[in-house]
């Protein structure tokens, strides 16, 4: 499709804008040290993230009322701690709550903020994320991510790749689906957006899952744009 009519760039956040694995490992390592726990923080980060899609699935199916990702993250954390044999009886609720909010403390990829600032000169920038508003807002304030509007999953009451997550975003912004382009490092996300009539831009994040990453190493669909980074995307789009 032509991108000449694109007004808004919507960004996947976890993995595309921010490096979740390094951030979660960092916060987990500090938690483990305080509590004398011997667990590889990167392995733990992978375990926690592996529960992400399954946790949202009941909300997608309608067997559970829509539940904010902050709440799901805490539930996933308890499951992850238990799966690693970590006794939680001697850990304070406050500490567990704080670790559950580790997803609010993730750092952008090195190119992200500078690239977004360039893209912002020409386009409206919003997150199209499964993250909730408070999570996305705190992350942005902490790291300087320059969103034009903070949209979280509560806005559409839908988790990607449900069509409403994409179409609802366009509707809220008062634009047509073909005036919105999803920027993501994940092929499944882009496919769902494309099927809803959005523009698509694939950005490489080859170490999102670590050095031995096996998925999303290359574009797997007929995406409108492919870029090495947000800076490269800005260059391609004339920003």
Give CA angle at 137 (47, 161), nearest 5°: 55
Q: What is the CATH number of domain 20-104?
A: 1.10.150.240
Q: What ranges do the domains of the chain cover?
A: 8-19+106-236, 20-104
Higher pLDDT, 125 or 2: 125
pLDDT tens column, 17-44:
999 999 999 999 999 999 999 999 999 9
pLDDT tens column, 198-233:
999 999 999 999 999 999 999 999 999 999 999 999
pLDDT of the residue at 129: 97
pLDDT of the residue at 149: 97
Q: Quick one: average pLDDT of 56-83?
A: 97
pLDDT of the residue at 206: 97
3-state DSSP: the chain helix, strand, coil percent, rounded to 5? 50, 10, 40
Is it the case that residue 68 has pLDDT exceeding 80? yes
Q: Is the dihedral of CA 7, 218, 205, 44 positive or negative?
A: positive
Q: What is the CATH number of domain 8-19+106-236?
A: 3.40.50.1000
> How confident is the prediction for the chain on average, in pLDDT?
97
Contacts of 227 (CB under 8 A, 6+ apart): 201, 202, 203, 204, 233, 236
8-19+106-236 and 20-104 in the same fold: no
Contacts of 233 (CB under 8 A, 6+ apart): 115, 119, 183, 201, 203, 225, 227
Nearest residue to 144 via CA among 169, 128, 125, 160: 125
Tokens of 67: 């539940």
Is it the case that residue 1 has pLDDT exceeding 90? no
Nearest residue to 71 via CA among 101, 112, 35, 39: 101
Is it the case that residue 90 has pLDDT exceeding 90? no
The structure tokens 């975003």 sit at 169
Kindly calculate the radius of gyration of the chain based on its CA atoms and give it in whole angstroms. Answer: 18
Tokens of 231: 């800076």
pLDDT of the residue at 115: 98
Count of C-beta atoms within a 10 Å radius of residue 15: 21
pLDDT of the residue at 62: 95
**Burial class for 208, CB neighbours closer than 10 Å (0-12, 13-18, 19+):** buried
Confidence of residue 2 (pLDDT cuts 50, 70, 90): confident
Which residues is 199 bridged to in the sheet? 181
pLDDT tens column, 152-176:
899 999 999 999 999 999 999 999 9
Tokens of 33: 């040290």
How far apart (Å, rounded) are the C-alpha atoms in residues 3 and 64? 37
Which residues is 9 bridged to in the sheet? 125, 181
């Amino acid at each position: 499709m032509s991108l000449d009519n694109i007004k808004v760039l919507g960004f996947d956040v976890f993995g595309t804008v921010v490096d979740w694995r390094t951030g979660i490992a960092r916060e987990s390592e500090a938690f483990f040290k305080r509590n004398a726990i011997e667990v590889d923080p990167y392995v733990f980060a992978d375990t926690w993230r592996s529960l992400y899609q399954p946790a949202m699935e009941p909300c997608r199916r309608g067997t559970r009322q829509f539940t904010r990702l902050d709440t799901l993250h805490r539930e996933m954390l308890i499951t992850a701690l238990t799966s690693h044999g970590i006794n939680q009886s001697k850990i304070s609720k406050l500490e567990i709550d704080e670790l559950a909010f580790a997803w609010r403390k993730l750092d952008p990829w090195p190119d992200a903020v500078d690239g977004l600032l360039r893209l912002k000169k020409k386009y409206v920038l919003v997150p199209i994320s499964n993250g909730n508003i408070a999570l996305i807002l705190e992350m942005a304030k902490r790291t300087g991510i320059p969103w034009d509007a903070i949209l979280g999953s509560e806005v559409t009451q839908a988790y990607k790749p449900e069509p409403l997550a994409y179409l609802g975003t366009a509707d809220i912004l008062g634009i047509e689906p073909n005036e919105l382009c999803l920027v993501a490092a994940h092929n499944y996300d882009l496919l769902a957006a494309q099927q809803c009539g959005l523009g698509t831009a694939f950005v490489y994040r080859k170490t999102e899952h670590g050095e031995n990453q096996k998925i999303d190493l290359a574009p797997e669909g007929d995406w409108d744009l492919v870029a090495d980074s947000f800076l490269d995307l800005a260059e391609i789009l004339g920003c």
